[in-house]
Structure 1
Amino acid sequence: MHFSIPETETRAGEGGNAAYVAYNIHVNGVLHCQVRYSQLLGLHEQLRKEYGANVVPAFPPKKIFTLTPAEVEQRREQLEKYMQAVRQDHLLGGSEIFNSFLRKAQQETQQIPTEEVQLEVLLSNGQKVKINILTSDQTEDVLEAVASKLDLPEDLIGYFHLFLVREAKDGAFSFIRKLQEFELPYVSVTSLRNPEYKILLRKRWCGSVRSKQCRRLYFLVMPISSQTVADIERGWILASKEQHRQLKSLQEKVSKKEFIRLAQTLKYYGYLKFDPCITDFPEKGCHVIVGAGNSELNFQVKLPNDQIKEGSFKVTRMRCWRVTSSVHKPQALTLHVSQVPVNNGTSGPTAGKSEVKLELAFEYLMSKDRLQWVTITSPQAIMLSICLQSMVDELMVKKSGGSIRKMFRRRANGALQRSDSQQAVKSPPLLDSPDANRESIAKVSSKLSSVSLRPINHSSSSTDIRANDFHGNFAFEGIGEEDL
C-alpha cells in the first residue's frame, strides 16, 4: 500500500483554541484520515515504548514557535517519509499499535459513530450477502462475519479476501484494492459516497492451493464455486463452449469433485484479472491485460502492429519490484491531489486538480546473466504489488514447510496474533535503487521453467518522480544452463 501526505489544511481550533495544521494521509491516492502533528507524535512515542528507539525511525522534531509555510511544507515531507518508513517495516507496519491508530483516525475523520449497521457484501457469482456488523469493525471482523453467514469453517477463512471493487451497470467490476488490517470496511466504502463501490468476497488465486484445499473449499462453500463460472463468462478463465456446458451441468448436479477437476484444467483458473493498461514490454506503449495467479504475472499484449502476444513472468525470476507515482499538474498554480475516486480507486483528474500516475516495475531475469526492467502503467499498480507480495509469501511458506492458511492473522483474547509459519515470512527489506541497465549473474538455486515474451527492444523504467516502494524478493531464484 502506498502511503502519502500530499496536502495539509489549516483548521480552526475548537473552543477558542488556536488554529492548527492538519495532515491528510492518503492510501493509494485516496484520503484515509486527517491527523494533527501531536497525534502522530503520540503514535511515535507508543512505537518507541513498545519496540525501542533503535527500531523506530526518526520523527520530525517539535517547534517552539508557529511554523512558517516553508516549515509546514518541510514537516509534511518529513511526516510522509516517516509514515512510509513505519509501514514498510515488517514489525512496525504490522503492529496493532500502528493499525489501530489508523482505524481510529479513519473513523474520526469520516465522523461515523460506532453503531450496528447492515453491510452488503458481493459474491463473485453476483449473489449478495447481508451481514450485521459495527461501523468500527475492522477487516478481519467483517471477513469472519461473512464467513459465518456462509458457514465457512474457521480454518478456511484464510483462503479468502475482501476487496473494494467498483461495479459497472453490466455487473462487471474493477478491483480497487484488497481491504487492509488498518481500515474499517464499512467506513471505507461509505466514505466514497458512490453506490457503485462495493465490498467483494473472493477466493484468493490458487497458486500453491491447487488440489485438496480447493476441493475442500468447493465442498464447504458451494456459492463461492460459482466464481469459476462467473469468471468464465466474463472471459477471465478460458473455456471452450463444451467445457463451459460441462461445468454448468456438473454445478447443477452438485458434482463437486468432477467440477473442481475440470475447472483446474482450464487456462487462467484461479487468476485475478486487471483492467487493460500500458506496458513497455516488448515495446514501449503496448496495451496489455495482466493476470496474477499460479506464482506468475500473465501478459496478453497487443503490439502496435495489432499483433497479439502472450507470455508469463514467473515470480521466482523477479529480483525485486517497485511502485512509483508521479503527479502531473495541468496548471502552474499549487495544486493538490483530488480526493474524488474514479473507477480505478485512485485519485482522478478533476477541474484544476492534479493527476496521479502509478507504475509497477519489476526487474526480471530474462536469461542467465541478464536482468531487465519491465514496467506496467496502471491505476491498479499497488494492487498488482500486493498480489506479487502475496504470491511470494505463499512460496516462502511452502519452502519453510508451513501451511498457507496459517499465514493469516487469528484473534486470540481480543488481540491480533501471527502464527509461527507467518513469523517466518518476513517482508523484504527496502533496496537501494539498482541500475536498470546493469547485468548481474544470478546464483543457480534450482531448475526453473518459464514462458516469457521475447523482447523486441530493451526498455527500462527510470522515471521515478515521487515516492518509491521497493520490494526485494526472497523467492528469487536463478537460471541454470539447462533452463536456457
Structure 2
Amino acid sequence: MHFSIPETEVRSDENGSTYVAYNIHVNGVLHCRVRYSQLLGLHEQIKKEYGNNVVPAFPPKKIFTLTPAEVDQRREQLEKYMQAVRQDPILGSSEMFNSFLRKAQQETQQIPTEEVQLEIYLSNGQKVKVNILTSDQTEDVLEAVASKLDLPDELVGYFSLFLVQEREDGGCTYVRKLQEFELPYVSITSLHSPDYRIVLRKSYWDTAYDTDVMDDRVGLNLLYAQTVSDIERGWILVNKEQHRQLKSLQEKGSKKEFIRLAQTLKYYGYIKFDPCITDFPEKGCHVIVSAGNNELNFHVKLPNDQMKEGSFKVTRMRCWRVTSSQVPVANGTANPSSSSKCDVKLELAFEYLMSKDRLQWVTITSPQAIMMSICLQSMVDELMVKKSGGSIKKMQKKRLNGTFQRSDSQQTVKSPPLLVGIEDSPDPSREQVVKLSTKLSSVSLRGLSSSNSASDISGNEFHGNYAFEGIGDDDL
C-alpha cells in the first residue's frame, strides 16, 4: 500500500477555531484527514507500547503558529513517519496502527456506527447481501460473507475481498485488495460511484490449493463461478476444441472436471490488468500485464506494431519498487503549478536477471502498479510457505501476526526470512525496495502473432540473449 500526505487543508473545528488537517492518501485516494495532535497521540501510544528504539522520528511540536513553509515541511515529515510505521513488520501490522486508521477513516467520512446492508459480489455477477456495522473491518466483512454462503471457517483464508471498478465496455479493473486498516462499507461509500464493487475472489496463486477448495461444495461453486467468469472475459485463453470440451462439461454439471481442464489452459488463475505502458523492450511500448504462476506476463505492442509476449518470473527479480509522482491535469490553458489539479502517476519497476551477469530494470507505468506489487508480494509469500513446508492456513495466520512484510510504495522494506538483504538502490528518488531470493529461474521471451492463440506462439525472442539456462523454480 502506498501511503502519502500530498496536501493539507485549513479546517474549522466545532468551536470555530481553525487548524491544519493532513490528508492521508492510500494508493492516491484520500483515506482520512487527521490533525497533528492525533498523529502525535498515536506516536505516544506506539512509544509506550513498543519503546523508543522501535519508533521512527516524529516532527517536534512548535510553540508559534507555523508559516506555510513550515506546514509543508511538517507535511513531508509526517508522510515519512507514516511510511516508516507502515513498512515496519511489527508496527505496520499492529492493531494500534490499523485501528487508528479505521477510526480516522470513519470520522473523515462522517459515517456513524450503525447496522447496514452491504452488497458483496461474486465473480459471476451474483451478489450476497450481508448485515454488518459500518465500523466493521475487512476481516469482519469477509467472515460475514463466508457465513452467509456457508463457507467453512477453514476455507475463509483462501479468499479475499477486492475493490473492483466496472468499465463501460463490460470489463472490470481490480483496484486493490481491501486491507485490514480500512472499513469496507466506508471505503465503497466514500467513492460515491455505482461503478465500484466489492468482489469476493480467491487470494492464492498455487493451483494445488484448488483441491482444498473443491473438496467443499460452497468452495467448489465459488471457484467454478470464478473460472467461468475468467474464461468469459478472456483472461483464460481457450481454443475451439477446448471450448467445446468445456461446454460439454458445463452441460453435464461436471464442475470439478471443468476446473481441472481449465487448470491446463493458458493464464488460468491469472489477474489481468488494464493496458498500460512499459519501457521493455523499448521505451513507450503499450503492454497488457497479467499476474499469475509466479510471474508477470507481458503482451507488448512494439512501435512497429509487432506483438511480443514475455514472462518475468518473480524468483528472478532481484528487487522491485513502486514510485509515485504528481502530474498536473492539462485543461488546455493552465500551466502546471502548485494550484493545478494533479493526478497520481504510479510506476512499478523491478530489477531482473536477464542473463547470468546482467541485471536490468523494467518499468511499468500503470494506475494499477500497487496492485501489481501486492500480487508480487503475495506470490513471494506463497513460495516462502511452500519452501518451509507450510500451508496457506499457516500463511494467513503469519500475515495476521505480522510475520510477512508488505511492499509499501516509496518505502524500504526489510526482507522476509527467505529473501536476501536490502542494498542501496541506484535510483535516487524515494522508493521502496523488496529484495528477492538469489535462487532464480530463467525468463523466456517469445514472439506472438496477432491472433493471441496459445498455439500461435513462435520461437522469436525480444533479443537473442534472453533465453538461457538458470536455476529453476524447483530449487526454491
Same fold, judged at TM 0.5 (above): yes
Q: TM-score range by the shorter chain?
A: 0.7 to 0.9
Pair 1:429-2:417 in alignment: no
Measure, in 1, the Cα distance between the counterparts of 2:153 and 2:247: 28
- Superposed counterparts of 1:400-411, under 5 Å: 400-409=388-397
Counterpart code for 1:137: D
Measure, in 2, the Cα distance between the counterparts of 1:444 and 1:194: 41
Unaligned runs of 5+ in 1: 337-351, 411-415, 437-441, 459-477
Counterpart code for 2:369: A
Name the structure 1 match of 2:7: 7
Helix, strand or coil for the counterpart of 1:194? coil
Pair 1:367-2:358 in alignment: no
> TM-score, normalised on structure 2?
0.85
1:58 CA displacement: 0.7
- Answer with 49-58 or 206-215: which moved more: 206-215
The answer to whether the 8 Å contact 2:317/2:351 transfers is: yes
Helix, strand or coil for the counterpart of 1:82? helix
CA pair 135-44 structure 1, distance change in 2 beyond 3 A: same
> TM-score, normalised on structure 1?
0.84
- Superposed counterparts of 1:132-147, under 5 Å: 132-147=131-146
The answer to whether the 8 Å contact 1:229/1:248 transfers is: no
The answer to whether the 8 Å contact 1:321/1:363 transfers is: yes
CA pair 369-68 structure 1, distance change in 2 beyond 3 A: same
The answer to whether the 8 Å contact 1:131/1:145 transfers is: yes
Helix, strand or coil for the counterpart of 1:97? helix
Pair 1:203-2:206 in alignment: no
Name the structure 2 match of 1:347: none
- Superposed counterparts of 1:106-185, under 5 Å: 106-185=105-184
The answer to whether the 8 Å contact 1:34/1:109 transfers is: yes
- Superposed counterparts of 1:36-435, under 5 Å: 36-207=35-206, 209=208, 212-216=211-215, 220-329=219-328, 330=330, 331=334, 334-335=337-338, 352-409=340-397, 417-418=400-401, 423=403, 425-427=404-406, 428-429=413-414, 431=422, 433-435=424-426
Helix, strand or coil for the counterpart of 1:278? strand
Helix, strand or coil for the counterpart of 2:444? coil
1:189 CA displacement: 0.5
Helix, strand or coil for the counterpart of 2:104? helix
The answer to whether the 8 Å contact 1:281/1:455 transfers is: no
Cα deviation code 1:262-310 (max 9, x no counterpart): 1110100000000000111111111111111111111111111111111
Cα deviation code 1:137-180 (max 9, x no counterpart): 11111111111122111111111111111113454211111111
1:234 CA displacement: 1.0
Measure, in 2, the Cα distance between the counterparts of 1:432 and 1:37: 33
Name the structure 1 match of 2:419: none
Name the structure 1 match of 2:449: none
Helix, strand or coil for the counterpart of 1:175? strand
Helix, strand or coil for the counterpart of 1:93? coil
Measure, in 2, the Cα distance between the counterparts of 1:444 and 1:120: 40
Measure, in 2, the Cα distance between the counterparts of 1:101 and 1:323: 25
Measure, in 2, the Cα distance between the counterparts of 1:226 and 1:242: 21
- Answer with 165-174 or 236-245: which moved more: 165-174
Measure, in 2, the Cα distance between the counterparts of 1:27 and 1:480: 37
Paired positions, count: 434
The answer to whether the 8 Å contact 2:20/2:35 transfers is: yes
Measure, in 2, the Cα distance between the counterparts of 1:73 and 1:385: 29
Unaligned runs of 5+ in 2: 407-412, 416-421, 428-434, 447-460
1:199 CA displacement: 0.6
The answer to whether the 8 Å contact 1:205/1:293 transfers is: no
The answer to whether the 8 Å contact 1:368/1:480 transfers is: no
Cα deviation code 1:379-419 (max 9, x no counterpart): 10011111111111111111122111222259xxxxx953x
Measure, in 2, the Cα distance between the counterparts of 1:215 and 1:449: 32
Measure, in 2, the Cα distance between the counterparts of 1:278 and 1:305: 15
CA pair 109-426 structure 1, distance change in 2 beyond 3 A: closer
Counterpart code for 1:283: E
Measure, in 2, the Cα distance between the counterparts of 1:188 and 1:447: 39
1:479 CA displacement: 3.6
CA pair 119-455 structure 1, distance change in 2 beyond 3 A: same
Name the structure 2 match of 1:32: 31
The answer to whether the 8 Å contact 2:207/2:269 transfers is: no
1:35 CA displacement: 0.3
Helix, strand or coil for the counterpart of 1:266? coil
CA pair 131-211 structure 1, distance change in 2 beyond 3 A: closer
Helix, strand or coil for the counterpart of 2:45? helix
CA pair 134-285 structure 1, distance change in 2 beyond 3 A: same
Counterpart code for 1:28: N
Measure, in 2, the Cα distance between the counterparts of 1:218 and 1:201: 16
The answer to whether the 8 Å contact 2:316/2:439 transfers is: no
Name the structure 1 match of 2:445: 452
CA pair 155-20 structure 1, distance change in 2 beyond 3 A: same
Identity of paired residues, percent?
72
Measure, in 2, the Cα distance between the counterparts of 1:91 and 1:457: 45
Measure, in 1, the Cα distance between the counterparts of 2:130 and 2:210: 30
The answer to whether the 8 Å contact 2:316/2:438 transfers is: no
